[in-house]
Chains A and B, each alone.
Chain A
Amino acid sequence: MIFIETPPDTSGYMIAGYAIAFGVMLIYVLSLIIRYRNLNRDLSMLEEIDKG
C-alpha cells in the first residue's frame, strides 16, 4: 500500500494571520498620521492665539 502524503490545507489560517498583521500595522501607521495632523492643527491655532 502506498501513502502519498500531502500537506494539510491550512491556507485559511495563513490568510487570517497575514490579514491581521497587515491590518494592525496599517491602523498603527494611520494613528500616527492622524495624531500628527491633529497636533499640527493645534500648534498653528495656538501660535495664532499667542501672536494675538
Chain B
Amino acid sequence: MKTKPRTLIALDILALILLGVSSYLALVFAPTEATMGQVQRIFYFHVATAWVGMLGFIAAGISGIIFLVTRNLKWDRVEVASVEISLVFFFITIVLGSIWARPIWNTWWTWDPRLTTATITELIYIAYFMLRQGIEDPDRRARFGAIYTLIGSVSVPITFMSIRLYRTIHPVVIGTQSAEAQGGFNMTSDMRFAFFFALISFTIIFVDLFWNRIRLGALADKVELLKLKVMQ
C-alpha cells in the first residue's frame, strides 16, 4: 500500500488542532447560559456532530447514485466510508442529546418527533451494514448498498424538518420553533462564534476521517483480491 499522502497527514494534524480549538471555544470561551447552566455547552458538539452525520448520509446516497450510473466499485467504498463515519457521529449526537435532556426535560428520553426520526435514521444505517454482510458477491452487494442508501437518505430531510413541521419539545436554533419547545435560548455573539467554528471544524474532521476510511477500504479490496489469487 502506498505511503500516506502528505496532504492527508497535514489534514490529520489540522483536524486534531481544530478539535482542540473547538473544545476550548465550547467549554471555556462561550459564556455559560443563564437558565440551563453548563449543560448547554453540549449543544456545540451536539449540532456539529448531527450536521456531519447528516452530511455523510446524504454523501452516501449521492455515491450510491454515482455507482448505479458508473458501476465503478470505487463508489461503493466511498459510500461505505460515508455511512460508517456518519453512524459514529450520529450516535454521538443522540447520546449528547439524551444527556442534555436529563436536566432540561427531566427525562433521558422521550418519543418526540425529532428524537424518533433521528433514532430511525441511525437504525436504518446500522441495518445497512448488517444486510450488506449477508451478500457475498461484491457487485450485488454494491448494487444493494447503492439502492439502500439512496432510499435511506430520505430519512435525513425528514429528521431535519421534523422539528419545523411537527409539534415538538425539541428547540430550533435557527428559525421559528414550536410553542411547546423546551430548552431553547438566544445565542450571544460569542456563542454564535463557538457554534459556527464547531460546525466548520467537524466538517474538516469528517473529510479527514472520510479520506482515511476510503484508503482503508481500498486496502481491504486489495487484500481480498490477492487472497483470491493466492487461493486459486
**A-to-B contact residues, CB < 8 Å:** 5, 7-11, 13-14, 16-18, 20-21, 24-25, 28-29, 32, 35-36, 39-40, 42-43, 46-47, 49-50
Contact = CB atoms under 8 A, between A and B. Distances in A.
Given A18-B45, A20-B95, A13 B216 contact: no
B230 interface: yes
Contacts of A14: 27, 38-39, 41-42
B219 A36 contact: yes
Contacts of B37: 7-11
B185 to A, nearest CB: 11
Interface residues of B, number: 41
A43 B219 contact: yes
Given A21-B45, A25-B88, A39-B216, A8 B103 contact: yes
Interface string B84-100: 01001001100110011
A35 B42 CA distance: 31
B1 interface: yes
Contacts, number: 100
A40 B230 contact: no
Given A10-B39, A50-B229, A24 B216 contact: no
A39 to B, nearest CB: 5
Nearest to A27: B88
Contacts of A17: 39, 42, 45-46, 95-96, 99-100
B1 to A, nearest CB: 6
